[in-house]
Amino acid sequence: MSAETRIRPATPLAIAEAAALIRAGELVAFPTETVYGLGADALNAQAVASIFAAKQRPANDPLIVHIATTDQLAQLSPAVSALANALIDAFWPGPLTLVLLRHPELPVMLSAGLPTVAVRMPAHPVALALIAAAGTPIAAPSANLFSHTSPTTAQHVWDDLNGRVPLILDGGPTPVGVESSVLDLSGERPRLLRPGAVSVEAIARLAPDVEVVRRYLDPADVDADAQLSPGLLLRHYSPRAEVHLFEGTDEAVQAALAQGARELRLSGKRVGLLIAEEDRAPLERAGVTHIAPIIALGHLGDLEHVARTLFSGLRALDTLGVDVILARAFPAHGIGLAIHDRLTRAAEGRVQRV
Ligand code: TXA
Ligand code: MG
């Protein structure tokens, strides 16, 4: 544990201070377009190890390396395929992480012993300025405690990591709100290991044979499947409250939310609802708004907005101290697939089709 963590607005001066910390092998939390990252010099084995310690992250879960220019790729991977280059041209800087063959001199822990390394160029001016000023690629997982909800504000980072990182650069709320898509290009066929902010539909335009890995691993299978991608763990993105996810027609979902909220209240539980704007009026009519706090993430037709508010909505209900969160499922197309994935994992499999 270090001293209390400082939050500084991401001015040029603060970015210069953060870059000096990175060069000295220290940790810095910083905004990207997706979520806040907990960064360290990717080429410094000790600094990389300290990321795992600060997050309480198991050593079998590899990190993403963030770069500011494509020149930095040569330090990370000896083999960048034509497909990788096409995807880079199309999506970088942006929320697409590519899993490539790993440069042999990289710290082993970075890749958790895998022969590959995950790389992306974030589309956020603060992240890019920090990487450029540090003069080194920056390894950064999401800046939350392991398996907790990812942070989309500097305050979220502080709530999880106060005392575990000297400095948080505050760049305001992150504009995308869900993590990058993780695409494995190291095998014969491109495989989407984690759906994210770049949609499968967009990736498939350049990689038509992309395979979407849809398995949710049970924690019991970790050892067997850790080599695939530990981020596939079912228990992930979890708030403290128990999450239940409801899928179905709008009417059926609204009825299930209302009934579930009433039953839980009767049994003495505090319950919160995570809904779409469209659910608000029906739930008001059902009288549920008096018995449970409600957070509407956005309209069903504006999934970009829902993505932006998803993690802060989960955290806000936790802060209100609810025992159970009843959440509606959102359409699983475009960025909606990432939303659906995060909610399913937050629910740890408690998904009900109604
Ligand atoms: O948007 C994002 O990607 C954010 C921001 C900070 O860039 N970062 C992030 O990192 O979400 P993290 O550590 O929370 O998630 C990284 C994911 C994990 O699911 C991990 O298993 C996977 O990427 N991953 C990393 N390296 C890998 C590799 N070599 N092979 C397979 N999966 C890998
Ligand atoms: Mg994470």
pLDDT tens-digit map of 211-223: 999 765 444 444 4
Kindly state the DSSP code that residue 332 receives in the 8-state scheme.
-
Atom 20 (ligand 1) nearest CA: 231
> Can you read off the two tokens belonging to residue 21?
């910390």
Q: What is residue 3's predicted lDDT score, i.e. its pLDDT? A: 80
Picking from 64-68, 77-81, 211-215, which range would have the lowest pLDDT averaged per residue?
Answer: 211-215
Q: Is 168 helix (H, G, I), strand (E, B) or coil?
A: strand
The pLDDT-based confidence of 64 (bands split at 50, 70, 90) is: very high
Handedness of CA 102, 104, 107, 108 (dihedral sign): positive
Q: What is residue 149's predicted lDDT score, i.e. its pLDDT? A: 94
- Report the alpha-carbon distance of residue 197 to residue 201 in Å, rounded: 11
Query: CB of 149 closer than 6 A to ligand 1?
Result: no
pLDDT digits (tens, 9 = 90+) for 134-165: 999 999 999 999 989 999 999 999 999 999 99
Q: What is residue 239's predicted lDDT score, i.e. its pLDDT? A: 80
Computed over every residue of the chain, the mean pLDDT equals 94
* C-alpha 141 – ligand 2 centre gap (Å): 6
Atom 6 (ligand 1) nearest CA: 37
> Can you read off the two tokens belonging to residue 148?
């907790």
pLDDT digits (tens, 9 = 90+) for 333-342: 999 999 999 9
pLDDT digits (tens, 9 = 90+) for 33-45: 999 999 999 999 9
Atom 32 (ligand 1) nearest CA: 229
pLDDT exceeds 50 at position 111:
yes
Q: What is residue 79's predicted lDDT score, i.e. its pLDDT? A: 85
Instruction: Give the whole-number percent of the chain exceeding pLDDT 70.
Output: 93
- Report the alpha-carbon distance of residue 172 to residue 174 in Å, rounded: 6
- Report the alpha-carbon distance of residue 111 to residue 127 in Å, rounded: 21
pLDDT exceeds 80 at position 133:
yes
pLDDT digits (tens, 9 = 90+) for 214-250: 765 444 444 444 445 555 556 666 788 999 999 999 9
Q: What is residue 312's predicted lDDT score, i.e. its pLDDT? A: 97
> Can you read off the two tokens belonging to residue 354?
């109604």
- Spell out the residues 6+ positions from residue 299 whose beta carbon is closer than 8 angstroms to its own: 276, 277, 278, 305, 306
* C-alpha 331 – ligand 1 centre gap (Å): 24
- At which residue do the structure tokens 């101290």 appear? 321
> Are 261 and 267 spatial neighbours (Cβ–Cβ below 8 Å)?
no
Tell me which residue of 246, 235, 195 sits closest to 348, measured CA to CA.
235
Which ligand has the nearest atom to the CA of 149?
2
The pLDDT-based confidence of 349 (bands split at 50, 70, 90) is: confident
Kindly state the DSSP code that residue 238 receives in the 8-state scheme.
B
Q: What is residue 235's predicted lDDT score, i.e. its pLDDT? A: 60
* C-alpha 143 – ligand 1 centre gap (Å): 12
Query: CB of 116 closer than 6 A to ligand 1?
Result: yes
Which ligand has the nearest atom to the CA of 148?
2
Tell me which residue of 123, 156, 125, 135 sits closest to 72, measured CA to CA.
135
Strand order in the sheet with 28-31: 6-9, 167-170, 28-31, 36-41, 138-139, 64-66, 116-120, 96-101, 181-184, 191-194, 211-212
Strands (E), the chain: 6-9, 28-31, 36-41, 64-66, 96-101, 116-120, 138-139, 167-170, 181-184, 191-194, 211-212, 242-247, 271-275, 294-296, 324-328, 351-353
The atom number, within ligand 1, closest to the CA of 111 reads 29
pLDDT digits (tens, 9 = 90+) for 261-304: 999 999 999 999 999 999 999 999 999 999 999 999 999 999 99
